[in-house]
Amino acid sequence: MERDARIYVAGHRGMVGSALCRALASKGFTNIITRTSSECDLRDRSRVDEFFEKERPEYVFLAAARVGGILANSTYPAQFIYDNLAIELNVIDAAHKYGVKKLLFLGSSCIYPRECPQPMKEEYLLSGYLEKTNEPYAVAKIAGIKLCESYRRQYGCNFISAMPTNLYGPGDNFDLHDSHVIPALMRKFHEAKLKGEGEVVVWGTGKPRREFLHVDDLAEALIFLMENYDGELFLNVGTGEDVTIADLVELMKEVVGYEGEVRYDSSKPDGTPRKLLDVSRIRSLGWRHKKSLREGLRETYRWFSENYPAVRGVQGV
């Protein structure tokens, strides 16, 4: 990508899109194009066409999506499948129609089967039943991968896809009903520390294992793929390392400086026992993550405590 290339970051206000904009700017890319959803609703084909016609982006990072935790997915399944499919159809087809040089679509590790062998290799896609709770979302993300593959095969478009593991970092959603475990624990420990509360409740048994990637590492990986990868097969993006939720809890206590007790509420679901990506393909291309979990949590907590309570999910930012 030339430094003055016209680069469209779809979803620039989200955690991933904003990390991408920061990373692109820091590498000297000067021509980053963005639109808020009220300026250009990506579910509306005519608006998407107007936008592509006017701006003629050369590179597209498709990081716009309707996302949410288990509760949001089960409450709004129709919006999750419709919005994501509509965004993918409109943006991917417009990228073809208006001659985009390269597009990178972002999926999610929930595309893999519920009972997938660990670590999860790219070729395990569609080898078994999906997790029911987020099936509509996962089906939409799988459709996005297949759109990119199909446009490549039929029209020769250079459209690639990346599947990130669980992400965290600045700009995350800290709503306790809706968020993932890292922002939830960060907020719970922080608020307990502020209020001098002696106990924090953690969901489940603490035994499940999860892999976590800092969103700045993801942004580096996405730019790396945009510049170095032209294959049809989508690629996993993760650290290749996982921790138990109990390990994460101890680390988070240390990072936040919370000295009270932790109670595990095993009436809350553990979810899947393990979710770890096989990252050997992206590693063999020469990319690996830089931030350790401890370092990434420290940085995220610094950002969170400086901005609290004006963070997403706390004050409705």
Catalytic residues: 137
C-alpha to C-alpha distance for 264 and 181, rounded to whole angstroms: 13
Decide: is 115 part of the binding site for ligand GDP (CB under 6 A): no
- Pick the piece of the chain touching ligand GDP (CB under 6 A) from 28-36, 117-125, 225-233, 270-278: 270-278
Q: Are strands 209-210 and 243-244 parallel, antiparallel or unpaired?
A: antiparallel
- DSSP readout, 62-92? E-------HHHHHH-HHHHHHHHHHHHHHHH
Burial 85-104 (b: 16+ CB within 10 A, else e): bbbbbbbbbbbbebebebbb
**Rounded (5°) CA angle 157-9-180:** 110
Find the shortest distance in angstroms from Cβ 197 to ligand GDP.
Answer: 15
d(CA 92, CA 108): 17
- Give the residue with the Cβ less far from ligand GDP, 149 or 247: 247
Nearer to ligand GDP, 224 or 264 (CB): 264
User: Which range in 7-15, 21-29, 265-273, 299-307 contacts ligand GDP by CB under 6 A?
Assistant: 265-273
Smallest gap from Cβ 71 to ligand GDP, in A, equals: 9
How far apart, in Å, do the first and last CA atoms of the chain sit? 33
Nearer to ligand GDP (CB atom), residue 103 or residue 184: 184
Q: Which is nearer to ligand GDP, 95 or 245 (CB)?
A: 245
Selection from 219, 222, 182, 217 nearest residue 203 by Cα: 182
Site string for ligand GDP, 161-190 (x = CB under 6 A): -----x------------xxx--x------
One character per residue 195-214, x = contact with ligand GDP (rule: CB under 6 A) = -------xxx---x-x----
Nearer to ligand GDP, 231 or 269 (CB): 269
Residue 44, Ramachandran bin (φ over 0: left; ψ between -120 and 50: alpha; else beta)? beta
Kindly state the smallest distance separating residue 265's Cβ from ligand GDP, in Å: 8
Q: Is 70 left (phi over 0), alpha (psi -120 to 50) or beta?
A: alpha
CB 202, min distance to ligand GDP, A: 4
Q: How far is the CB of 6 from ligand GDP (least distance, A)?
A: 36
Rounded to whole angstroms, how far apart are CA atoms 288 and 241? 12
Q: Name the residues that contact ligand GDP, by CB under 6 A.
A: 69, 166, 179-181, 184, 202-204, 208, 210, 245, 268-271, 275
